[in-house]
């Protein structure tokens, strides 16, 4: 596998705070590499060091064999960047924004097909301030792609979007990878990382706490399935606990059962129905990256 990015022992301090505290990893060609973690974990600081927009306090970075610190301008001609924050002037039209950014790079793609790809063709003549949140994000993607870069960085691409717009964005990111590019995707949505990324680095307080494919990360935590429901009457709990292969936790009236397979789910249901229990909101779920984060760090992703 061809290595596109090398990060070794990167540290970035702000005063006493080490926002990034000794991070190392490699990114390979044509993968979607996720950097996930809660707000304030240091994700933006880390990617902006890779883009040469911030200067690390220590460590070694090569992106496309260039040092972002020494060759920032050269590097930024070759990569595409979507910033976590970053708007355009209200009174510029969509096609004018793209024309401007196309003109800043030494090479660029045709603008109309690009607008079509991000679904903004009918908004080409619209002013930036007339766009919805999702459309603004899509323009931001188009700007990141206008130079036909080999490596694209997305930072919190879908924050603030409704679920439907988010899904549309996911489709777009996958298609970028399928077009042969390498994508670095920063997000605090574990579900997004799980769905999209080929590999994920989970970071917490400036350090990588796990790095693997989403499937491997999830398979590390025991208990394949998770059953959730709540009961009016808790007297049945003892009988449920006696079901084989069933790990049960009670919190108020909320019951969580971890188990290895489907048979336990059927058995739990049978016991509940057999005893004419009143149970509500019965759900069965697989563990997610959120559970991985919880099991590694002992805290919830969001409070």
Partner 1 sequence: MIVLRQFRKLISMEVRVFRREPIGVFFAFIFPVFFLFLTMEVFIPAEAPREIVINYVTPSLMVLIIATGAIFGVPLSIVTYRQIKFLKRLTASGARSLTILGSIALANFMITVLGIALLAVAAMLVYDATLGGSLISFLAGFVFTFLSLGAIFLFIPAVVRSARAANALSQIIFFPVMFFSGVFIPLDMLPDWIARYISPFIPITHAAELMQGLWLGTPLVDLIWQVLILLGILCLGLVIAVRAFRWE
Ligand X SMILES: Nc1ncnc2c1ncn2[C@@H]1O[C@H](COP(=O)(O)OP(=O)(O)O)[C@@H](O)[C@H]1O
Binding interface with Mg ion (CB under 5 A): 44, 84
- Residue for token pair 């229990």: 277
- Cα–Cα dist 114/143, whole Å: 9
Q: Is 259 exposed, middle or buried (0-12, 13-18, 19+ CB in 10 A)?
A: buried
**Structure-derived torsion over alpha carbons of residues 22, 212, 27, 198, reported in degrees to the nearest 10:** -150
Strand positions, DSSP E, 125-216: 151-155, 182-187, 199-204, 207-212
Binding residues for ligand X, rule CB under 6 A, total 11
Integer-rounded Cα Rg, in Å, for the chain is 23
- Cα–Cα dist 78/106, whole Å: 9
The reply to whether 299 sits near ligand X by the rule CB under 6 A is no
Of 83 and 186, nearer to partner 1 (C-beta) is: 83
CA neighbor of 47 nearest in space, from 175, 132, 144: 144
Residue selected from 88, 189, 229, 293 as contacting partner 1 according to rule CB under 8 A: 88
Residue selected from 1, 2, 16, 106 as contacting partner 1 according to rule CB under 8 A: 106
Pick out residues in 4-23 that bind partner 1 (CB under 8 A).
none
The reply to whether 71 sits near partner 1 by the rule CB under 8 A is no
Cβ of residue 119: shortest distance to ligand X, in angstroms?
Answer: 27
Question: Which residue has its beta carbon closest to Mg ion?
Answer: 44
Q: Rounded to the nearest 10 degrees, what angle do helices 94-104 and 133-145 cross at?
A: 20
Q: Biggest alpha carbon distance in the chain?
A: 72
Pick out residues in 114-153 that bind partner 1 (CB under 8 A).
143, 147
The reply to whether 66 sits near partner 1 by the rule CB under 8 A is no
Cβ of residue 205: shortest distance to ligand X, in angstroms?
Answer: 9
Pick out residues in 23-52 that bind partner 1 (CB under 8 A).
51
The reply to whether 43 sits near ligand X by the rule CB under 6 A is yes
The region of 35-43, 227-235, 258-266, 282-290 touching ligand X under the rule CB under 6 A is: 35-43
Residue selected from 1, 16, 70, 73 as contacting partner 1 according to rule CB under 8 A: 73
What are the residues binding ligand X (CB under 6 A)? 14, 17, 19, 37, 39-45
């Amino acid at each position: 596998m061809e290595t596109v990015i090398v990060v070794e022992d990167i540290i970035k301090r702000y005063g006493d705070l080490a926002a990034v505290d000794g991070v190392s990893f490699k990114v390979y060609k044509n993968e979607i590499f996720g950097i996930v973690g809660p707000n304030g974990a240091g994700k933006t600081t880390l990617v902006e060091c890779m883009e040469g927009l911030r200067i690390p306090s220590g460590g070694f970075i090569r992106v496309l064999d260039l040092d972002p610190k020494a060759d920032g301008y050269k590097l930024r001609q070759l990569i595409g960047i979507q910033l976590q924050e970053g708007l355009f002037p209200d009174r510029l039209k969509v096609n004018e924004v793209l024309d401007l950014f196309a003109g800043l790079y030494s090479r660029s793609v045709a603008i109309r097909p690009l607008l079509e790809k991000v679904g903004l063709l009918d908004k080409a003549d619209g002013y930036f301030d007339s766009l919805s949140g999702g459309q603004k994000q899509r323009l931001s993607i188009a700007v990141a792609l206008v130079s036909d870069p080999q490596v694209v960085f997305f930072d919190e691409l879908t924050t603030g979007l409704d679920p439907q717009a988010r899904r549309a964005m996911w489709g777009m990111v996958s298609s970028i990878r399928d077009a042969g590019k390498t994508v670095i995707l920063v997000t605090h949505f574990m579900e997004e990382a799980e769905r999209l990324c080929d590999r994920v680095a989970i970071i917490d307080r400036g350090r990588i706490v796990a790095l693997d494919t989403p499937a491997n990360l999830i398979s590390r935590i025991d208990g394949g399935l998770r059953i959730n429901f709540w009961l009016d009457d808790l007297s049945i709990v003892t009988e449920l606990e006696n079901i084989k292969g069933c790990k049960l936790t009670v919190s108020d009236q909320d019951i969580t059962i971890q188990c290895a397979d489907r048979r336990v789910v059927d058995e739990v249901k049978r016991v509940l129905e057999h005893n004419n229990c009143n149970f509500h909101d019965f759900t069965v779920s697989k563990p997610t990256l959120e559970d991985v984060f919880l099991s590694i760090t002992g805290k919830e992703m969001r409070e």
